[in-house]
Amino acid sequence: MRVLAIESSCDETAAAVVTDGQIIESNIVASQSELHAKYGGIVPEVAARAHLQSIIPVVRQALVDAHVGWEDLDAISATRGPGLPSALVVGFGAARGLAFGLGLPFVPVDHIEGHVMANWLIQKQTLDLPNLPAVALVVSGGHTELLLVEEGPVFKRLGGTRDDAAGEAFDKVARLLGLSYPGGPEVSKAASNAVVKKMHFPRAWLRGTDDFSFSGLKTAVYRSVEELQNSDINEIAWAFQESVVDVLSKKAVYAAEREGAQSLLLAGGVAANSRLREIVQDRSTIPVHIPPPSLCTDNAAMIAAATRIEMAISSDSLIDIDPTPYRSRVQRIG
Ligand code: KG4
Ligand code: ZN
């Protein structure tokens, strides 16, 4: 089955052609991060307009790169949510219109499930697919969640952030340190340049839960920047990253052990962070799966990978469904 998938939930306009939910034939991502950089974060109206400009060229390029025509497609899918409503509606509307016009099944996909399913996209011809049940840590600009992934796959929410998402914390700290947007890669680069590594920021463990909190850490970083006039930006970035990565990795590994998981999956933009990748692999006693960095940040190949789950459970036509800023399949996510 060959799927054309479209993703436009945030600041990337993306389209991909994927076969059987695993083989990437093309994967086009038009990033808007430069447009938003001067604001230090995403401006929804700017995002929506940029999606409108990019959507048709991006979809065309996905077909060209895959060497396929409309007649070679079996279904069209799109991110339904969660995301920015004005951004979602562009990719979702385009996908729905194409499906209607071409007489193909239209499949709305949950963005978070898409991030997790990036772990099923085959890289370099390896067949090292995750075994289930798995615990997945989804860490992005908008979300920080621990999910139990059972056979199906079926997703159950174990916990998540009570305030900022991990990526959001990286972006806000970048702003405090005078670094540019998106902040994750910038903070990570500054951290790797740290020479002095003495600073220690607090960790919010929220013991007894699978929840997270990063707002206290953000305040601690703010205070350290205010108080230490000549403070070393690199050391602050390093100490901040250590705090986030310590909590994320310990809680994910603990949840995986407690749930008897056979594998631990990382997903979402923050999973591109090399320190997080390293520490989770070090601490986990079960196999860890992490997509390559380009499939951790928003892309449409992951949406294509999640398409077959939705097709397997939905017998009705989904053409009348609308996008939503919330999780798109609340009934299956506890
Ligand atoms: O998954 P994603 O592309 O979009 C959302 O669904 O939110 O994640 C974007 C987030 C941003 O907050 C960005 O700063 C963060 O992922 N990010 C990183 C790294 N690369 C991207 N955070 C830490 N380290 C990185 N290397
Ligand atoms: Zn995302």
- Give the number of whichever ligand sits closest to the CA of residue 109: 2
- Please check whether residues 191 and 285 belong to one and the same domain: yes
Distance in angstroms (rounded) separating the CA atoms of residues 3 and 16:
8
Band of pLDDT at residue 321, cut at 50, 70 and 90:
confident
Is 128 contained in some domain? no
CATH number assigned to the domain comprising residue 16: 3.30.420.40
Q: What is the pLDDT of residue 316?
A: 67
Give the angle 147-136-319 at the CA atoms, nearest 5°.
65
Which residue out of 32, 110, 115, 170 has the highest number of ligand 1 atoms within 8 Å of its CB and is therefore the one to mutate?
170
Range of the domain at 193: 134-290
Q: Is the pTM of this model over 0.85?
A: yes
Distance in angstroms (rounded) separating the CA atoms of residues 296 and 273:
10
Distance in angstroms (rounded) separating the CA atoms of residues 36 and 315:
40
Question: Which positions ≥6 away from 167 have C-beta within 8 Å?
Answer: 139, 140, 141, 142, 144, 182, 184, 268, 269, 270
- Please check whether residues 139 and 275 belong to one and the same domain: yes
- Please check whether residues 38 and 84 belong to one and the same domain: yes
**259-275 pLDDT per residue, tens:** 999 999 999 999 999 99
- Please check whether residues 284 and 306 belong to one and the same domain: no
- Please check whether residues 41 and 108 belong to one and the same domain: yes
Is 84 contained in some domain? yes
Pocket, ligand 1, Cβ cutoff 6 A = 10, 140-142, 167, 170-171, 182-185, 188, 268-270, 272-273, 297-298
- Give the number of whichever ligand sits closest to the CA of residue 140: 1
**224-254 pLDDT per residue, tens:** 998 876 679 999 999 999 999 999 999 999 9
DSSP secondary structure letter of residue 272: G
Burial 293-304, CB ≥16 within 10 A → b, else e: eebbbbbbbbbb
14 within 8 A of 30, measured Cβ to Cβ: yes
CA of 297 to the centre of ligand 1 (A): 6
**Domain count for the chain:** 2
**4-16 pLDDT per residue, tens:** 999 999 999 999 9
